[in-house]
Structure 1
Amino acid sequence: MKFVVYRLADTQYATPVEQIESIERLLPIRPVPGSENFELGVANLRGTVISVQDLRKKLGVEAAEPDQEARLLIAQGIGYLVDAALDVIDVDDSQWERVAGGRVWNRGDTLVLEYSLV
């Protein structure tokens, strides 16, 4: 199965590629008053308005300002801000280990956590 691998702080995550519609550079974001703390606002993606969420805040990872490597993972009309998109890679089901209600892939010297965006 193919996964998109991305980074938040020092941790790598993997989401099944079929959940990701596209990977985009950061877009201008307009805040929406009264939204959740992880909701950054809305953005115009090729003529379509999308909601943008900070995946760091949503997962309880310490906040940081996006830099030039930051990307938006687009899934079901929502843009998820990540620190960097690293790879699209095939990972066999047998390579995943069940841990604490989730799955972890030991990728060399890096542990990659599976995370579903939908």
Structure 2
Amino acid sequence: MSEIDIQTVYIVAKDMERLTRFYESALEIPVQFRDADKWTQFRLQRSAFALSSFGEAATGAAGAVPVFQVAGETQNDVKERVLAAGGQLIGQRDMGDHGFVATYKDTEENVFQVFSKT
């Protein structure tokens, strides 16, 4: 069996500029590259997260739930930035020894999660 990994997870953006600013601000992830209003790719540690225009997305693409793992800061720090950037907290789950996950909506109502080990 061949090795399989995730190369990129993307969501389709209605307003590329606004959503790019949201993720840069809310999660403090830098843009790796941008192709005008077609595609914005962010730099992560081991994978890629991107925003796609409708024209660049797969035909029929509808939603994804990216789960961002954070370390070195508290969930509360992340929550404050997400809310300040215009996001909404819609749920939290403490999984004990397995970690903690918070569920948010971005400025276009896309759902994403932030996971931490503590």
Report the TM-score, using the length of structure 2 for normalisation. Answer: 0.28
Report the TM-score, using the length of structure 1 for normalisation. Answer: 0.28
Q: Give the structure with the larger helix fraction.
A: 2
Q: Give the structure with the larger strand fraction.
A: 1
